[in-house]
């Protein structure tokens, strides 16, 4: 069984820089990734939920991946994961294959989320086709477990079957269930045999204790220093309660202003001078009144 532990660590679910016409801002992307690397991220997930992934076509995602890889010239250890899951089996296979051909470190794949009543047999068949057709041996595919959004959970039995069938390609999951009991069950069942990347900032410390391998979170765009402090403390066999409390507070505030991409893009601009990137419809930017309220709420948590 191959170990994918080299992909452990702190990942930002990166926002996607956009031009005013909503096309990807390829020139702005390397600066964003360098900013995240400087602030403690081991890598990023492009085109996750925070990156507005389902709003972009496969050619657009591959263009962005190509631009993102410029950072690896100066930071060769910086890892790039890409969201490649779509409801279409054919499109998911083609995008996943092209993503690996282009040199990504791994993919994070949503289940086919249109049909919400499918069972594990159907999901196993679907993921098997993707893995066999598009994932080279030794490369990492992670399932994206986010049932509040997709309505299609990835059961423990399904994860076990995929790991047993494809130990050299099925690496684990991004767990965005926001469910501590689920995090504990996954950790207890799989231990170090599965790469488990937690998706909920307020659960990070507890998820690590339950066996998580790291995190991929929206707040990694802004609060990666705190995530990294929690991670580093865990590696020393310690805890950083101060950093975790900041993450708890930041997550509670961010949930008052959903969805996350407009808020994060606004704060990256206001706090750190990055461009004021728009979001792609159907998402819309925050109103002036909402921006004022959000800034007042979260300003006390800003790092200098």
Judged against a pLDDT cut of 70, whether residue 233 lies above it is answered with: yes
Active site residue 6: no
CB half-sphere exposure, 277, CA atoms < 13 A: 30
Average pLDDT, integer, range 160-172: 98
Q: Considering the candidates 50, 86, 139, 174, report the single residue annotated as catalytic.
A: 174
Calpha distance 169→135 (Å, rounded)? 7
Q: How confident is the model at residue 261 (pLDDT cuts 50, 70, 90)?
A: very high
Helix (H) or strand (E) holding 81, with range, is strand 79-83
Q: Is pLDDT of 301 > 70?
A: yes
Q: What integer pLDDT is reported at residue 303 of this predicted model?
A: 82
The question of whether 114 is a catalytic residue gets the answer yes
Q: What is the pLDDT of residue 304?
A: 64
> What digits encode the pLDDT tens for the residues 84-107?
999 999 999 999 999 999 999 999
- Given 6, 66, 90, 114, which residue is catalytic? 114
Q: Which residues of 155-181 are buried (b: 16+ CB within 10 A; e: fewer)?
A: eeebbebbbeebeebbbbbbbbbbbee
Q: Taking a C-beta distance cutoff of 8 angstroms, is the pair 100, 107 a contact?
A: yes
Cα angle 25-40-109, degrees, rounded to a multiple of 5:
60
Contact present, 7 and 105 (Cβ < 8 Å): yes
**Across residues 244-258, what is the average pLDDT?**
97
For a pLDDT cut of 90, what percent of the chain falls above it? 96
Reported pTM:
0.97
| Percentage of residues of the chain with pLDDT beyond 70 | 99
166 counts as catalytic: no
Model confidence at 192, pLDDT cuts 50, 70, 90, reads confident
Peptide linkage before 258 cis (omega within 30 of 0):
no
Question: What domains, with CATH codes, occur in the chain?
Answer: 5-240 (3.20.20.70)
Marked catalytic residue, from 11, 113, 144, 257: 144
């Amino acid at each position: 069984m191959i170990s994918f532990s080299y992909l452990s660590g702190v990942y930002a679910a990166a926002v996607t820089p956009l031009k005013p016409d909503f096309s990807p801002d390829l020139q702005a992307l390397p600066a964003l990734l360098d900013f995240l690397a400087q602030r403690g991220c081991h890598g990023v997930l492009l085109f996750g939920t925070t990156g507005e992934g389902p709003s972009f076509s496969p050619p657009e995602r591959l263009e962005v991946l190509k631009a993102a890889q410029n950072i690896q010239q100066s930071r060769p250890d910086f890892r790039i994961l890409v969201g490649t899951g779509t409801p279409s089996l054919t499109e998911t296979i083609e995008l996943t294959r092209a993503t690996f051909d282009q040199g990504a470190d791994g993919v994070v794949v949503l289940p086919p989320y249109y049909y919400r009543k499918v069972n594990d047999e159907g999901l196993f068949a679907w993921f098997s086709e993707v893995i066999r057709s598009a994932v080279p041996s030794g490369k990492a595919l992670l399932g994206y477990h986010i049932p509040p959004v997709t309505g299609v959970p990835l059961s423990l039995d399904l994860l076990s079957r995929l790991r047993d069938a494809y130990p050299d390609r099925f690496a684990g999951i991004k767990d965005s269930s926001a469910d501590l009991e689920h995090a504990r069950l996954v950790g207890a069942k799989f231990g170090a045999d599965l790469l488990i990347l937690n998706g909920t900032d307020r659960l990070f410390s507890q998820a690590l204790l339950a066996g998580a391998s790291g995190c991929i979170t929206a707040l990694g765009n802004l609060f990666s220093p705190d995530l990294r402090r929690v991670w580093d403390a865990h590696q020393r066999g310690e805890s950083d309660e101060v950093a975790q409390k900041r993450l708890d507070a930041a997550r509670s505030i961010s949930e008052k202003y959903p969805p996350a991409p407009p808020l994060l893009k606004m704060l990256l601009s206001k706090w750190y001078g990055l461009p004021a990137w728009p979001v792609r419809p159907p998402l819309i930017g925050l109103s002036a009144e909402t921006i004022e309220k959000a800034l007042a709420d979260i300003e006390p948590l800003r790092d200098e």
